[in-house]
Amino acid sequence: MTQHQPLLKFGVAGAGVMGRNHARVLSDIRDVELTHVFDPDAVTAEGVAAAYGATPVTTAEAFVDAGLDAAVVATPNRTHADLAVALLEKGVHVLVEKPIAATVEDARRIIDAARANDRVLMVGQVERFNPAVEAVKRAIDGDDVISIQITRVGPFPPRMGEVGVVIDLAVHDIDIIRHLTGSEIVEVQPQLARTKAEREDTALLQFRLANGTIAHITTNWVTPYKVRTLQVATGSRFVVADLITRQVTEYFGQQPDGSYSTRGVMSWPAEPLKRELEEFARAIRTGEPPAVTGEDGLRNLEVALRCLGEG
């Protein structure tokens, strides 16, 4: 008979699109129990909590005092720091949605609180757990990466309020670039445009990394359909991934006559959010650092703010 771990009591703060996804996935993970859902809107909190047999709460204080082992913070960015710090000081492990916080100072407050209270702090960079991204990382293992090009475009999302494409979308890709190269972004050349929104809705971002890799992100909310593609050039291969269909193709063995070989790279079917939350639970149980640390979240935010001229 397999020995079950004691249940980890989880709460989700913020019952918007992302928070609802977290609640759904948590209710399906072994050895985890979703016990509380917090949203200041009572109808929203009650609706999501009822769907998963959890208790709804409508104040941050009640959520912090709910006796949780771990919490997901999926509230608006500007509220991340106060809530995450209060939870960490209460002894609760925290997964905070990307970006880690609205400012570098707030990000550091969260990281310091996790360290002071010896709690796991993980940042929700869900694309790192996309099987296609993992397949690309395996394919280029040991290669020198020359360049990375990422396209993440689509229509304007009705839910967006306080941030533009750099914070909402490009933060995913900044993390992918750092993850695939194991290097830090040292030069930033951003081009931003605002066409239909209050904030930038189109961005072309160019980077140089400490190891010499160059990278480019195209992101916008003005394309009528969604595209999520990742292209990586190394000294010996060119790898192309569709992050939506999870199809990954490797091109290699280019000959003087222009011919080359291709092969499909396996990417295993898995829900990235489930992989992310399982990794968070694993880090809590083992005490090992999580895959995406608070420092990762801070670096990603710093680069994004530099792109906006705020860093």
Confidence of residue 1 (pLDDT cuts 50, 70, 90): very low
Domain count, the chain: 2
Q: Which two tokens stand for residue 175?
A: 């993390």
**Using a CB cutoff of 8 Å and minimum separation of 24, what contacts does 278-286 make?**
278/29, 279/122, 279/129, 280/70, 280/93, 280/95, 280/120, 280/122, 281/8, 281/29, 281/31, 281/32, 281/70, 283/120, 283/122, 284/8, 284/69, 284/70, 284/93, 284/120, 285/5, 285/8
**In terms of residue numbers, what domain contains 192?**
128-270
Pair 85, 185 in one domain: no
Question: What is the average pLDDT value for the chain, to the nearest integer?
Answer: 95
| 290 part of a folded domain | no
Rg for the chain (alpha carbons), in Å? 20
- Shared domain for 253 and 140, answered yes or no, is yes
77 lies in the same domain as 115: yes
pLDDT value of position 274: 97
Query: Could you tell me which residue, 159 or 206, shows the higher pLDDT?
Result: 206
Q: How confident is the model at residue 6 (pLDDT cuts 50, 70, 90)?
A: confident
Check whether residue 86 and residue 194 sit in a common domain.
no
pLDDT of residue 3: 57
Mean pLDDT, residues 85-93: 98
Helix (H) or strand (E) holding 61: helix 60-64
Q: What is the mean pLDDT of residues 10-30?
A: 97
User: H helices then E strands: how many in the chain?
Assistant: 10, 14
Between CA 171 and CA 97, with CA 151 as vertex, the angle to 5 degrees is: 25
Does some domain include residue 302? Answer: no
Least confident range from 4-18, 28-42, 45-59: namely: 4-18
How large is the average pLDDT for residues 281-302?
97
Cα distances from 154 to residues 26, 51, 201, in angstroms, run 28, 30, 10
| Block residue for tokens 């530099």 | 306
58 and 137 in a common domain: no
90/217 same-domain check = no
> Each residue of 95-126: pLDDT tens digit?
999 999 999 999 999 999 999 999 999 999 99
pLDDT for the residue 160: 59
Q: Using alpha carbons, list the distances in angstroms from residue 194 to 96, 116, 229.
A: 28, 41, 23
Q: What is the pTM of this model?
A: 0.95
Kindly state whether residue 277 falls inside one of the protein's structural domains: no
Same domain (yes/no): 172, 87: no
Q: Is residue 217 part of a domain?
A: yes
pLDDT > 60? residue 2: no
pLDDT, tens digit (0-9, with 9 covering 90-100), for 164-188: 999 999 999 999 999 999 999 999 9
Q: Is there a domain that residue 279 lies in?
A: no
99 and 150 together in one domain: no
pLDDT of residue 4: 65
% helix, strand, coil for the chain, step of 5: 35, 30, 35
Q: Which CATH number does the domain housing residue 177 bear?
A: 3.30.360.10
Mean pLDDT of 286-304: 97
Confirm whether 304 is domain-assigned: no
